[in-house]
Amino acid sequence: MIRFILRRLLSTALVLLVVTFVLYLLLNVALDFFWDLRASTSPNIAALYESRTRLLDLDTPAVVRYFKWLAGVGGCVVGQCDLGIAWKSGQEVTDQLQGAIVNTIKLITASTIVAIILGIAVGMISAIRQYSGFDYFITFVSFLLYSLPVFWVAVLLKQYGAIEINNFINDPTLSSWVPIILVCLAMGLFWMGALGGGAKRRLITFSAASIITFATIYYILASGWLQQPSIGIVGIIVIGAGAAVVMTFLSTGLKNKRVLYATLSIAVIGALLYMPLQYLFYYVEMNWLWMFGLLIVAIGVAVAVGLAFRGPDPWDTVRTTSFTAIIIAFLIFADRVLQGWTEYSNDPAINNRPIATIGASAPNMDGDFWLTNLDSFTHLLLPSIALILISFASYTRYTRGSMLEVMGQDYIRTARAKGLNERTVIMRHALRNALLPLASIIPVDIITMIGGAVITETIFGWNGMGKLFIDSMRQSELDPIMAYILITGLLAIIANLVADFLYAVLDPRIRVNA
Amino acid sequence: MSTNYDNQNSADLDEVGDNAIEAKETEGLSQGRIVFQKFLRHKGAMISIGVLAIVALFAFTALGVGAIPGWWQFTHTASGPVVNPGGAPTWSLSNIFSPGQHPFGQDEIGRDNFARVMKGTQISLVVMVIIGAVCLVIGTVVGALAGYYRGWIDSVLMRITDAFVILPVIVVGSILGVLVGGASGPMLGLALGAILWVGLARLVRGDFLSLREREFVDSARVAGASDFRIMFKHMLPNAMGVIIVNTTLIMSQAIVLEASLSYLGFGIQPPGISLGQLISEYQTSFATRPWLFWWPGLFIIVIALCVNFIGDGLRDAFDPRMKTIPSWRKMKKAERMAQKGAKR
Amino acid sequence: MTAQSESQTPVEKGTPILDVNDLGVSFWVSDEWWTAAEGLNYTVNAGEVLAIVGESGSGKSQSSMSLLGLLPSNGRATGSAKLNGTELIGMPQERMQRIRGNEISVIFQEPMTALNPVYTAGYQIVETLRVHLDIGPTEAKERALELMRLVEMPDPEDRFHSFPHQLSGGQRQRIMIAQALACQPKLLIADEPTTALDVTVQAEILKLMRELKSKLDAGIILITHDMGVVADMADRIIVMRAGRVVEAGSADEIFYAPQHPYTKQLLEAVPHLGAGADGAVFGSNLDAVESISSAHREEEEIDPHIDGSRDSLDSTHAGSATVVEGGGSRTDDLDTESREIAERGKVDHQIEMDSTETYYHPGSQADFSQPSALQLRDAAIEYPAIGRKKAFRAAHHINLMVSPGEVVGLVGESGSGKTTIGRAALGLLPTVEGDMVVNGKSIKGLSNKQMRPLRKEVGIVFQDPGSSLNPRLPVGESIGEPLYLHEGMKGPALSKRVEDLLSAVELPTSMRNRYPHELSGGQRQRIGIARALTLRPKLLIADEPTSALDVSVQAKVLDLFEGLQKEYGFACLFISHDLAVIERIASRIAVMRHGYLVEIGKSSQVVANPVHPYTQRLLSAVPVPDPKEQRKRREARDAVLEATANA
């Protein structure tokens, strides 16, 4: 296994080397290093040309320059990176990269995780309800998403996801209830299709989903939640208990009372800790290390509770309580972040237009840990949605296909013949096997994401790698482009490596044999 | 019970095979006809073909091709007097049957948006088809050779595939786009085709790798067929499913890719025109003249969606595991009828 | 949980457990209901094996799956099936789940795919236990280990943590059985439990199932197409054809006094091992076998390491055109044999199971000076290396000769390398050592192009008639291809020849325009034979030509084959895993094991007096379609299995 991975690593690294070489030569032909001088009428034009040639060392053959560049890259191994300079702005490429890499990774990680979770869930349900109205609907939506150009969606998102919503937050008057009722009915239909069942159950699901949606929207509008969004202790109790029930259902089934009580206890503990935590957040300046520590504590508590409840399978209990605890911890975090909403909105830098359309953070904005986070979340929102829309479709289609394949396998029939219920058959026997091939498309998808990020970053002015690439292309700056190629290549290789490991962990046929 | 059984009939026993259900479905049809019939049953694909045909028909006849003039009164370059305030469309839902002079509106200098969108569609379709054709040819040939002979050609193909696993297509596409220098549609199509074939080649290779293990290939070899004959007479027809389906899917990717590149300014550049380029040109006027943004976008989506659905229909048609979708409603109805019949 | 408490109450032997009344299964196909089975009536009693026999498409599997509500989504069941008075047909899903695996459990056909690859064998048994019984993981594990011991799993503690891919086919099927027995079901449905297994493994599983049957009081429904298995296991039999029961009765009634013509035909069609043997088939009675097995045991006690040294033997083989290896014609003639071996300076008295030497019955030595259709001279054959995958040597030191016009059977289990030899003889795999002479010309190291003229004289019939015909070509074109390629024949002349060939294989000439998928398995295989004979080859390689076919079809194809062989007079290497088929068709039999040729002799010699323990094992494992004879053979089989267990 290790040997296999090492060999793959080596071969992709070699490929990366060849790719950079070829692209370096291509770029030398493609880029016009004198574009800004072409229209110049300056009297010393010849001198300008000459100084540009000297600056970029254009008299040296491109092949030689490539190896000079490569030598600079090689310096990174010993900590002396020299990736060249962006000649137009005169900045060192290494300086340009620093913020850009972090920003891009932030954007891509957030979107990938959400897309994977949503895509798998929806794809799985779509497969289980094959040939139902729900399935056709999801198929249509995923094809639609495939067909949407990102840049077009991004412009729409800016308009309707930010500008209009900001307007609405400032002036919350509703012109008509019709769209809201339509949305409620649509939600009803969606859940009806997703949960399925007999005519009676469908009717119940439909009405329940419609009414709950309507109640939620009504509450949001009536209470002015949009102006003052928060979760609060009530929200934490309600959502926490919901999470406990859902997690138990997915992991062991509601029949397992012991696990249900364990997860519910976690919800109660979360609610009890809410107030003390508020004091902690108030008196102690927080940072990510603290957050990480608190998450560990939460998981620790969950493990303890799980083991205390034990049951015949303590580890099943622990798994379920841990997931519940993570959800509740996240809720408390989100609650605290949202508490800064008013302060944030009223900040002169924001000027009551909280959903950002441009950049990775608001300029002239300084606040504590919570406020800066809120700021970066509002900025992340739109570009993430744009990216999620692209890869959500492919995960859905892939999960659906793979799930259908697995559901037709003999061992699924065996599992049914054993007397397992459908939940166990699907969650334990089908899903696990259906996820295996998915591990191999994640790296491909991450590359698509990075590609998509090129466009999203450009449109949303997100200072990441993609924007750097496009800007440099427009300015004919060779070195930053090469740096982009190098770094995305490395990121992709790492993603591949992770996927390989993932695959090995999931599939005993690989793990055990190697 | 079969009482009138005699040995003369015994050959008929063979007919009751494992594939009785399958045989029933495919009675008297050639493989190609089965695929075709399955395809015809795919509603999404059928509608898509219709829509795509209409779009293409409009795009090519409205403005004409080359020297042949079209029937539309404006061209995409000529500016004229602004009819509605701000150049708003003369065609709306309220008077749907009278499109007026500028059904899609006009831009700020009075150019007819319908003409521009049709011209853009024309170019985008041409680029798409060229990309598809280039991929089809290179992908099939390279994939077939790699899968059949394995060896070095296979290694090289796999390394090239690796290259596209570490670099986004749009990055390489941008560089090639700049290289061909905002040239005409066909040039861009060739350049993009030169990178998009890799995916197809990999799939064809996979198909050939498994086909070459099939016994009919051995059987052809034993019959004395040459490598060339085995590859193209025996294996290729069996790989047609993979090839056709994936070429279609590449084409749907291609149209979005072309639009994206043109949007970024590395594809078709003004005065050249394409759907992506139109959006790029008009994105700033979204707030003031939204029709300039909506129409080209809509056409990209419609084309890509249609091609996707056609690809899906083809995939279902070629997939031997795909059985005819049992319609629940019909099934239940028949069951009820049967029960009624039993009661009577 | 009432269902559970019920399952614990002991059921007396002989009381009816399952009562099936007018059961029917139909599928929704092309907008109408297509009947897969109808009008089924039977009862299953406790402690009794009811065999449902039928060929593919007879609806035997589907009707049994409908008992558990496991039909595909477009299927439906009608009629009634009562398990101890509880109606199963139309039972709601939740209640059915309590019955599945608990009161009715299933053993599926393909142990390869019927176990979930990502969970350990032990986990999958434990899972069944814990779904139905309220027990903790430790107790469940104990029970699972107990079950694994019950099904005679070697090293149950180790195997508990093994994943399915780490187990052999037989072991997987044992896990499957353990899982099915976990909750002491009242009814066990065994759906072709041994079909996917090699014959010796099948024998072990059958032995196990018989033992279990006497230990447990469950009623068993055995679904199979193999009359030998039926004869071995069944108390009562139902014969099905095209969805209907054609005959039902006790095992003796069906086997010795069949009423329905279909049953008769089915029984006649089954090739019967020993039909052409001089004496009794090996393994027909216990005494003959016991002498051998006791000899084995003694042998092991005296010297556990008597494996002959391969290398010294190689040197004697290499280069010599004529290989003569003596050997007694009777295994119990130990004296002669040991004397001979002693003369060669060896300690070998008795051939060991792992011996890789070839035993030649008198008259079967390969005399390479004679004219021949096929000669393998100390040949070794490899699957060439692909990328990083190393080359795999699938056959070693093979000395084999097929005379012109002779049919030699090559028998062995999966992975024995028998197919390898066939493919190498056609030049599809390289011969890396020794020599391969086809119709007098060596084909070693020839390229595809150089092979082409030689291919005119060789034909092949493949195992799977479905995959050996190009699905995109009309069958007429497939048949005519060799003529077109070698003789440049075209147009009407070609059509004429194709039509002649079609009539030669007893197919209507109108079939030439059909595509392979429109033909039944038997028809496809006829086409395959026609194609192989197009150029009137001198040598035909038949690679398991009938193993994908139903017995009645197989019988007809074999008849046809024999007729054609007489008419055309080609030599044939007939490869099969089925000894009964081989015995019928071949004049000599060669036995392969793990890539070595272990025994070769006249059919009657090999069948009646096998020398290599592997051959003995193979022969005794074959169930014969005759309950009385099989009863005798069973004892012999169990003894041989015992004696050669550590194979």
Measuring CA to CA, how many Å separate C605 from each of B240, C289, C329, C356, C366?
A: 52, 16, 8, 20, 16
Q: Which of B275, B271, B159, B139 is nearest to B207 (CA)?
A: B139
pLDDT at B12: 38
* B224: chain C residues, CB-CB within 8 Å: 452, 455-456, 482, 485-486
pLDDT at B324: 52
Angle CA C447–C452–C456, to nearest 5: 145
DSSP secondary structure, A444-499, as one string: HHHHHHHHHHHHHHHHHT--SHHHHHHHHHHHT-HHHHHHHHHHHHHHHHHHHHHH
pLDDT at B30: 61
Tokens encoding A331: 């809720």
Task: Give the H/E segment covering residue C359.
Answer: strand C359-360
- Give mean pLDDT, residues B142-156: 87
| DSSP-derived pairing of the beta strands C219-224 and C187-191 | parallel
State which of A182-191, B174-183, C464-473 shows the largest mean pLDDT. Answer: A182-191
- Within 13 Å and on the Cβ side, how many CA atoms surround A126? 23
Q: Does B252 touch chain A (CB under 8 A)?
A: yes
DSSP secondary structure, C458-476, as one string: EEEE-S-TTTSS-TTS-HH
Q: What is the C-alpha separation between A476 and A416, in angstroms, rounded?
A: 62
Subunits close to C (at least 3 CB pairs below 8 A): A, B
pLDDT at B321: 60
Residue C321 has pLDDT above 70, yes or no: no
Q: Which of A116, A137, A127, A122 is nearest to A412 (CA)?
A: A127
Give the SS3 label for residue A85: strand
In degrees and rounded to multiples of 5, residue B158 shows phi and psi of -65, -35
- Give mean pLDDT, residues C42-64: 87
* C221: chain A residues, CB-CB within 8 Å: none
Q: What is the C-alpha separation between C338 and C360, in angstroms, rounded?
A: 15
- What is the pLDDT of chain A when averaged over all its residues? 86
| DSSP-derived pairing of the beta strands C407-411 and C458-461 | unpaired
**Candidate from A347-361, A461-475, C97-111, C471-485 with smallest mean pLDDT:** A347-361
Return the residue in B216, B331, B337 with the most chain C beta carbons within 10 A, the one to mutate for interface testing: B216
Stronger pLDDT, A497 or C14, i.e. the higher one: A497
8 Å CB contact between A45 and A37: yes
Chain B: closest CA distance from residue C395 (Å):
19
Return the residue in C73, C83, C106, C116 with the most chain A beta carbons within 10 A, the one to mutate for interface testing: C116
Stronger pLDDT, C322 or A326, i.e. the higher one: A326
Task: Give the H/E segment covering residue C64.
Answer: helix C60-65
Name the residue of chain C whose CA is nearest to B235's CA. Answer: C470
pLDDT at A511: 64
- Give mean pLDDT, residues A434-455: 84
Residue C334 has pLDDT above 50, yes or no: no
Q: Does A167 touch chain B (CB under 8 A)?
A: no
Q: Does B284 touch chain A (CB under 8 A)?
A: no
Residue C362 has pLDDT above 80, yes or no: no
Contact B279 A152 (CB under 8 A): yes
Give the SS3 label for residue A280: helix
State which of A120-124, A191-195, A493-497, B12-16 shows the largest mean pLDDT. Answer: A120-124
Residues C248-304: tens digit of each pLDDT: 999 889 999 898 998 888 888 888 777 655 556 666 665 555 555 454 444 444 343
Chain C: closest CA distance from residue B43 (Å):
17
Residues A353-362: tens digit of each pLDDT: 888 777 777 7
Name the residue of chain B whose CA is nearest to A494's CA. Answer: B166
Confidence band, pLDDT 50/70/90 cuts, at residue B343: low
* C93: chain A residues, CB-CB within 8 Å: 422
Among B216, B224, B327, whose Cβ lies nearest the Cβ of C469?
A: B216
Residue C221 has pLDDT above 90, yes or no: yes
**Candidate from A7-16, A173-182, B328-337 with smallest mean pLDDT:** B328-337
Among C97, C130, C176, whose Cβ lies nearest the Cβ of A421?
A: C97
Stronger pLDDT, A369 or A210, i.e. the higher one: A210
Give the SS3 label for residue C586: coil
Q: What is the C-alpha separation between C327 and C343, in angstroms, rounded?
A: 12
Q: Does B208 touch chain A (CB under 8 A)?
A: no
* A415: chain C residues, CB-CB within 8 Å: 116
Q: Does B178 touch chain A (CB under 8 A)?
A: yes
Q: What is the C-alpha separation between C633 and C620, in angstroms, rounded?
A: 7
Q: Does B282 touch chain A (CB under 8 A)?
A: no
Residues A35-65: tens digit of each pLDDT: 777 777 888 888 888 888 888 888 888 898 8
Residues B233-264: tens digit of each pLDDT: 889 988 888 898 889 888 988 898 988 988 88
Contact B7 C261 (CB under 8 A): yes
pLDDT at A41: 80
Q: What is the C-alpha separation between C365 and C373, in angstroms, rounded?
A: 16
* B25: chain C residues, CB-CB within 8 Å: 29-30
First to last CA, chain B: 24
Among A410, A422, A508, whose Cβ lies nearest the Cβ of C113?
A: A410
8 Å CB contact between A144 and A392: no
pLDDT at B283: 78
pLDDT at C305: 40
* B172: chain A residues, CB-CB within 8 Å: 23
* C6: chain A residues, CB-CB within 8 Å: none
Residue A484 has pLDDT above 80, yes or no: yes
Tokens encoding A500: 């390989």
Name the residue of chain B whose CA is nearest to A491's CA. Answer: B166
pLDDT at A61: 87
Global pTM reads 0.83
Q: What is the C-alpha separation between A394 and C18, in angstroms, rounded?
A: 49
Residue C308 has pLDDT above 60, yes or no: no
What lies within 8 Å, CB to CB, of C323 at 6+ separation is C317, C360, C365, C366, C399
Tokens encoding A21: 């070489």
Name the residue of chain A whose CA is nearest to C162's CA. Answer: A512
Confidence band, pLDDT 50/70/90 cuts, at residue B128: very high
- Give mean pLDDT, residues B312-322: 77
Contact C462 B219 (CB under 8 A): yes
β-bridge partners, C25: C37, C77
8 Å CB contact between C291 and C299: no
Contact B263 A11 (CB under 8 A): no
* B239: chain C residues, CB-CB within 8 Å: none
* C462: chain B residues, CB-CB within 8 Å: 215, 218-219
Q: Does B53 touch chain A (CB under 8 A)?
A: no
Residue C572 has pLDDT above 90, yes or no: yes
Strands (E), C536-619: 539-543, 571-576, 588-593, 596-602
pLDDT at C279: 53
pLDDT at B335: 67
Sequence letter at residue C253:
E
Residue B339 has pLDDT above 70, yes or no: no
Instruction: Give C89-97 contacts, CB < 8 A, sequence gap 24+.
Output: C89/C23, C93/A422, C93/C69, C94/A421, C95/C3, C96/C68, C96/C69, C97/A419, C97/A420, C97/A421
Return the residue in B16, B25, B343 with the most chain C beta carbons within 10 A, the one to mutate for interface testing: B16
- Give mean pLDDT, residues B115-128: 90
State how far Cα A295 lies from the chain centre: 20
Chain B: closest CA distance from residue C459 (Å):
7
Neighbours of C146 (CB within 10 A): 13
β-bridge partners, C248: C238
For chains B and C, CB pairs below 8 A equal 153
Name the residue of chain B whose CA is nearest to A449's CA. Answer: B168
Give A 430-449 residues with CB within 8 A of chain C. Answer: 432-433, 436
* C111: chain A residues, CB-CB within 8 Å: none
Residues C383-426: tens digit of each pLDDT: 887 766 778 888 888 888 898 989 999 998 888 888 888 888 88
pLDDT at B13: 39
Q: Does A309 touch chain B (CB under 8 A)?
A: no
- What is the pLDDT of chain B when averaged over all its residues? 80
- Give mean pLDDT, residues B57-71: 81
Among B214, B224, B229, whose Cβ lies nearest the Cβ of C486?
A: B224
Contact A451 B170 (CB under 8 A): yes
Name the residue of chain A whose CA is nearest to C137's CA. Answer: A312
Confidence band, pLDDT 50/70/90 cuts, at residue C330: very low
pLDDT at C354: 72
Q: Does A313 touch chain C (CB under 8 A)?
A: yes
Contact C73 B326 (CB under 8 A): yes
Contact C114 A433 (CB under 8 A): no
Q: Does A316 touch chain C (CB under 8 A)?
A: no
